[in-house]
A and B are shown apart, each in its own frame.
Chain A
Amino acid sequence: GQQLNQSPQSMFIQEGEDVSMNCTSSSIFNTWLWYKQDPGEGPVLLIALYKAGELTSNGRLTAQFGITRKDSFLNISASIPSDVGIYFCAGPGTYKYIFGTGTRLKVLA
């Protein structure tokens, strides 16, 4: 079945640094969703991507399709301590959403 692979699995960064993570699929998605999850809470939708070739932003977050539409990228600029958490990508399948394995972000103050 479809699966999404995220990389890196985890990363430590210094506060103020820019962060980049990606998600790859075995098939094309016309929509990509990016979520952030804090411990013990439900994932929060950060960005929904619908248009290939365009950057979609939400504050310091920017996301875009990859060239093949089988991948997507999320960038966080000037990271702050509250960016800590797990970031998931997702795409709509047949009456279900396919989720990535997550990227755990840890920020060093």
Chain B
Amino acid sequence: GAVVSQHPSRVICKSGTSVKIECRSLDFQATTMFWYRQFPKQSLMLMATSNEGSKATYEQGVEKDKFLINHASLTLSTLTVTSAHPEDSSFYICSAGSGGGDTQYFGPGTRLTVL
């Protein structure tokens, strides 16, 4: 149980294009999903918290107009990196809240490379 999927697992795009990453909870409903960014050999950096049917809450320093988050259903959240640039290249991981409000289950991650 508590499986979270992400698609695509890897994407390479040209500078200036937009990229959409999907995060799905496969066997449970997730009212709250999270988006993280992780650089090599570093820990997870929370970007935003996404609640179903409402606007996402962004962490300090994260540009909400650059990283668009939509959580339209209880099983799907999307992250769109708009006008991507090489500095946006990173490993993006989503997670979904499950249980009694006290833990998260993570997706396998999406490796974004912007040329």
- Determine if chain A interacts with chain B: no
